[in-house]
Structures are given as structure tokens and as C-alpha cells.
Copies of this chain bind each other. A is one copy, B any other.
């Protein structure tokens, strides 16, 4: 049985304010919870699961406390429309972020939608991008929606939330690329092994003060009439091009 205060506590982690205070976030569903439990990088604090999941899985993770709950209890603490077998509470990583300058990285300037943010983290992971710098007003990657959208990539990509403007000023000799109208056509860009690709807000793009620090504006060529591309789609297209070919 879950106590009322446990239910309240877990529900509170759906809000950024409480996540920041407590330092924990929620992971849901057997696939991503399984990944979290198997990853040495992720500190899972507690698992709430239906009996069936617990019977099949709990013994695989001897160090983790698995509490069996009923379907209706699980639904109470779930952020999903339909709760999915298991929910875990994990620690928000607190390690110091050390920017690795020799790698290709992403910077997000005000991505608002948690689903977009999560999808961008998943794309970054696909293309081997290890670090993402997020402006402070970007959506929180540890919100339940963002975590779900990362499909587990949240466990593999390092994030820094900071004043993006100041952070850019501190990066000496760094090359910043930014998606913009009237930039260099993406296709004429060479492969990149380092540098930071800045992705702007879904409707407003990159802020003008950030754009001033972008050394190269790049444009995804348009052939039809759509006004814009989704920010995550643009990220995927740019990364696919600049990562070149592994052959």
C-alpha cells in the first residue's frame, strides 16, 4: 500500500520546482526503467511496479527496492494516460559538467516543448553527441514528458542548463553554427568534428543576441512552401549532414 504522503511526493516530482528541491525525477514504463536500472550512470532510488513486472524483474536488480503496487495505485502516481507496469524515481545527475571542446555539441536556445526537447536528446544520442547546453528558459529535460520522449537517451547525454549568452562568451575560439534563414546552404557545409550547433526556439528561432555570436548561419534548403521545420527535425537534418559518412 502506498501512503498518501508517498503518492503526494511522487506526484510532486512532475513539477520542476519539486524536482529541483528534491533532486529526483520520474521514469515510466518497462523499457526505459529497465535501461535506467541497467545503467551504472543512473541512480534509481525506488521502483513502484505491478506484481507481474516485479516477479519478472526485481531479482535482476538486487540493490534496488521494488515496491509492488496495485494498478490503481500505479495510475495515481503515473503521469501517463495509462500507467505502464512500472515507475521509478531516480536521482537527477549532479556531476559537474565539463565541456569537451573537441567534440561536436548542441546548444538549445529556448526550446519550449518537452516533447521536442526529449526528441532532440534522442537525436543527439543517435548521432553520438554527448553534450547539450540548454538556455535556462528551455524546457526541463527531467520533466516526465521529456524523459519519455528521450526513449532512454536522457541517460547517455550530458546536459548543462545555463545562461547561454554568458556561456557562449566564455568559450574562446569555439565555432558556433546556427540554423537561420538566408544562411549558408547546409549542403555546402563540410563535415564537422567539433563546434556547437545552436538550435532556436520553435516559433521564434535563435534570439538576436545569441545569433550575434553565431559565426556561421546555416540554412536547410527549402523546395516547397512550408514556412518552417520542426526544431527536432531540423536538428536531425543538420546533424546527419555534418556528421558526414562513417565509411
> Contacts A126-B222, A245-B187, A247-B185 given: A227-B119 contact, CB under 8 Å?
no
Determine the distance from Cα of A187 to Cα of B230 in the docked complex, in whole angstroms.
22
Q: Is A160 an interface residue (CB 8 A)?
A: no
Determine the distance from Cα of A108 to Cα of B152 in the docked complex, in whole angstroms.
26
Is the pair A126, B185 in contact by a Cβ cutoff of 8 Å? no
Q: Is A162 an interface residue (CB 8 A)?
A: no
Using CB atoms, name the residue of chain B closest to A224.
B128
Q: Within residues 188 to 247 of chain A, which ones have a CB less than 8 A from any CB in chain B?
A: 188, 220-230, 232-237, 240-241, 243-247
Chain B proximity mask over A17-59: 1 for CB below 8 Å, otherwise 0: 0000000000000000000000000000000000000000000
Is the pair B151, A227 in contact by a Cβ cutoff of 8 Å? yes
Determine the distance from Cα of A185 to Cα of B128 in the docked complex, in whole angstroms.
17
Give chain B nearest CB distance to A110 CB in angstroms.
Answer: 19
Q: Is A153 an interface residue (CB 8 A)?
A: yes
Using CB atoms, name the residue of chain B closest to A241.
B240
Chain B proximity mask over A151-190: 1 for CB below 8 Å, otherwise 0: 1110010000000000000000000000000000111100
Using CB atoms, name the residue of chain B closest to A247.
B185
Give chain B nearest CB distance to A185 CB in angstroms.
Answer: 6
- Which residues of chain B are near A235, meaning CB under 8 Å? 233
Which of A119, A235, A236, A247 has the most B CB atoms < 10 Å from its CB? A236
Give chain B nearest CB distance to A237 CB in angstroms.
Answer: 4
> Contacts A125-B225, A224-B156 given: A233-B188 contact, CB under 8 Å?
no
- Which residues of chain B are near A145, meaning CB under 8 Å? none
Using CB atoms, name the residue of chain B closest to A243.
B223
- Which residues of chain B are near A153, meaning CB under 8 Å? 225-226
Contacting residue for A236 out of B227, B228, B229, B245, CB 8 A: B229
Q: Chain A residues in contact with chain B, CB under 8 A?
A: 119, 122-129, 151-153, 156, 185-188, 220-230, 232-237, 240-241, 243-247
